[in-house]
């Protein structure tokens, strides 16, 4: 669930994961925000740096190494649910979990269609926001996330590449813009 605002993607990803579990599917639920880089790396250029928010806030290599690659390994799929505790900036020390055959990985967070993760997901839903909705999600003018999201949109074109695009200006009234099944 690719979304600018963590709360947007997290809520929908939790719903999807719950629906899968209710249908008897095993689910590996991961939040990219649980794979934050160390605070010293994230904030090396200050808390308002747009480029750092896009490039360095999440440890993309760790997400690939600890979740995506091991779950794709047919000899023993496993995954780490959480890398770092954001509040303490320390490793979470969560144990690696073993996945049963057929486990569905549900990930939420921003920038999931960036180049480091290309080809890592079978299906990606992108939550599309208008400029006004983006401003409402992040009203603090010093917050780097809106600028980082605009950079992501310009460089990665997630709406053109996603399997499902949902207009999410009003979370109580999401609207499917395009899905791969609708052509």
Residue 183 has pLDDT above 70, yes or no: no
Q: Give the model's confidence band at 170: pLDDT under 50 very low, under 70 low, under 90 confident, else very high.
A: very high
Distance CA 145, CA 19 (A): 30
Contact between residue 9 and residue 108 where contact means Cβ atoms under 8 Å apart: yes
Q: Domain 6-182: what homologous superfamily?
A: P-loop containing nucleotide triphosphate hydrolases (3.40.50.300)
Q: How many residues does the chain have?
A: 183
pTM value?
Answer: 0.91
For 9-112, list the strands marked E by DSSP: 27-31, 78-79, 84-85, 90-91, 97-98, 104-108
Question: What proportion of the chain, given as a percentage, has pLDDT over 70?
Answer: 98
């Amino acid at each position: 669930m690719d979304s600018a605002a963590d709360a947007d993607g997290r809520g929908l990803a939790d719903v999807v994961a719950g629906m899968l579990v209710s249908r008897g599917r095993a689910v590996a639920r991961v939040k990219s925000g649980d794979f934050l880089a160390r605070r010293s790396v994230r904030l090396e250029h200050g808390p308002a740096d747009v480029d750092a928010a896009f490039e360095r806030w999440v440890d993309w290599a760790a997400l690939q190494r600890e979740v995506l690659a091991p779950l794709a390994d047919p000899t023993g799929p496993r995954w780490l649910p959480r890398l770092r505790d954001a509040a303490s900036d320390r490793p979470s020390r969560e144990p690696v979990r073993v996945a049963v055959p057929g486990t569905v990985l549900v990930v939420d967070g921003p920038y999931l269609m960036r180049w480091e993760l290309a080809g890592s997901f079978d299906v990606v839903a992108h939550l599309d926001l208008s400029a006004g909705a983006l401003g409402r999600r992040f009203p603090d003018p010093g917050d780097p996330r809106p600028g980082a999201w605009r950079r992501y949109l310009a460089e990665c074109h997630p709406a053109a590449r996603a399997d499902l695009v949902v207009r999410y200006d009003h979370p109580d009234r999401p609207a499917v813009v395009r899905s791969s099944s609708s052509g």
